[in-house]
Amino acid sequence: MAGFNVNDDPTTNSGAKTGAVSTADIARAQEQIFAPGRSSRDKYQDLVVGRPGFAALAKYELVVMLCQGLAGAAGLAMRQMMYPWLLGSCGRGVVFGQNVVLRHPHKIHIGSNVVIDDNCLVDAKGDTNLGIRIGNGVFIGRNTILSCKNGDIQVADGANLGFNCEVFSASRVTIGRNVLIAAYSYIIGGDHDFSDPAKAVISQPRVSAGVTIGDGAWIGAGAKILDGVAIGDHAVVGAAALVRENVPAGTIAVGIPARVVGSRSGRA
């Protein structure tokens, strides 16, 4: 059983998992936006900037206004110069495409020779999380989303995330070295408890066991990796697969739900 909400929370409705960490302390976006007694500026700053104070807000707005949507080579040059002002750390030779959106950017750390293509969202939102760490030589394709709700995302050196992918974390999602994730794939490191039939699912606690994808794995186009799953080193997940259980290292898994059908060594 799987589905996606429309409230900026792409977790799957597969129920609470053994060993999952409760994330019930994370407020829904609606609760934060419409919280009484707080100014619109404070709410915006909590959701987007992630730091209090007028100076932090002013710096964020200056960078966004001057270069986020600027087209052409001038925009690339301006973002390469100014986006690191907001980030926790940033290496050399990082390319930020047009309309790349950063949220809670002080918790985003990027290595060297990274490409983040047009219209990506890199959202490290949370009160107690470490945020997002992207290694050296990583490519993040156009329209891809890295989204935290008090979770952490780590993308190791050489990983390649295709166009229109989504990686969500309410605890921890780790993508290993030289992992290839094809377009329209979803890595979903969070879930909802729906054990109480008298309550709407959206009103029940959130849980997260996280997702791990080992070094050198290949995730085919349109695959969905659900919360609590570990993909072993150099494993292959077929296109459009729905992965609910662990995939051992070096194996090939396909189907809905995914099952292991072979080994890359030729032994089933």
Share of the chain above pLDDT 70, in %: 86
Average pLDDT over residues 108-121: 98
For the segment 163-222, what is each residue's pLDDT rounded down to a tens digit? 999 999 999 999 999 999 999 999 999 998 899 999 999 888 889 999 999 999 999 999
For the segment 223-242, what is each residue's pLDDT rounded down to a tens digit? 999 999 999 999 999 999 99
What local confidence, expressed as pLDDT, does residue 260 receive? 97
Whether residue 28 has pLDDT greater than 70 = no
| Residues with catalytic function | 192
Q: Which two tokens stand for residue 200?
A: 């709407």
Centroid of chain to Cα 164: 12
Q: Which residue has the higher pLDDT, 249 or 11?
A: 249
For the segment 44-80, what is each residue's pLDDT rounded down to a tens digit? 999 999 999 999 999 999 999 999 999 999 999 999 9
- Full set of structural domains in the chain with CATH: 21-238 (2.160.10.10)
What local confidence, expressed as pLDDT, does residue 32 receive? 63
What local confidence, expressed as pLDDT, does residue 16 receive? 42
What local confidence, expressed as pLDDT, does residue 37 receive? 73
What local confidence, expressed as pLDDT, does residue 154 receive? 98
Which pLDDT band holds residue 1 (cuts at 50, 70, 90)?
A: very low
Q: Structure pTM? A: 0.89
Q: How far apart are the first and last CA of the chain?
A: 28
